[in-house]
Amino acid sequence: MNPLLVLLSVAVAVAQESFILDDGDHHALDYVHPAAFGARHVPIVEQNFQMMQDGANRWNFESADGTGRWEEAAPVWTGAGVRGGYRYASEDGPVAVSYVADKYGFQPTGNAIHPDIVKAVALQVAKAKEEPEGMWDERGFPVFGYHHHYSDY
């Protein structure tokens, strides 16, 4: 075998390994199995998805460790938006968050949401409710002739 080819192959392998293990500005791109971090397999004990003819849908899942997520969505023209939530166990205790996402924005509530965020969302919703109606049609598209400037930048 050609000694130059062997030397070149070893050099490439060493260079690649040093890139993967580099703690500097480079980031390792290789897949690392979750078990390497102490993760364990958690089975899904419930999973559902339902699509309605009008485009609305609902889905949920729950795993054996109590982690779960659910969501219900309706077509934009109904004005109902999306409702959902999730829960999981953290080092600080159980986390449960519910949310609504509609024409007034994303509105989360729950024990993991900082009170200042809840206040900011309430102000956002109040301000959005003051906006003139009719800027969107029944499908959620902007109405021609209505111009709203959110920023002077």
For residue range 29-52, what is the model confidence (pLDDT) as tens digits?
A: 567 777 777 778 899 999 999 999
Taking 70 as the threshold, does the pLDDT of residue 120 lie above it? Answer: yes
108 belongs to a structural domain: yes
For 96-106, b/e burial (b = at least 16 CB within 10 A) is: ebebbebebee
| Structural domain total, the chain | 1
Q: Average pLDDT, stretch 63-81?
A: 88
For residue 36, the model assigns a pLDDT of 78
36 belongs to a structural domain: no
Q: How far apart are CA 21 and CA 19, in angstroms?
A: 6
Q: Any residues with CB less than 8 A from the CB of 134 and at least 6 apart, and which?
A: 143, 146
- Per-residue tokens: 2: 């050609």
92 belongs to a structural domain: yes
Which secondary structure element, helix H or strand E, spans residue 99, and what is its range? Answer: strand 93-102
Domain region containing 84: 44-130
Q: Identify the residue with better confidence: 55 or 139.
A: 55
The answer to whether 59 touches 50, Cβ cutoff 8 Å, is: yes
Taking 70 as the threshold, does the pLDDT of residue 11 lie above it? Answer: no
Q: Average pLDDT, stretch 73-85?
A: 84
Q: Let me know how long the chain is.
A: 153
User: Which of 143, 146, 137 shows the shortest CA–CA distance to 76?
Assistant: 137
124 belongs to a structural domain: yes
For residue 71, the model assigns a pLDDT of 97
Rg (CA), the chain: 25
50 belongs to a structural domain: yes
In DSSP notation, 44-79 reads EEEEEEEE-TTS-EEEEEEETTS-EEEEEE--GGGS
**Tokens 């996402």 found at:** 101
Averaged pLDDT score across all residues of the chain: 78
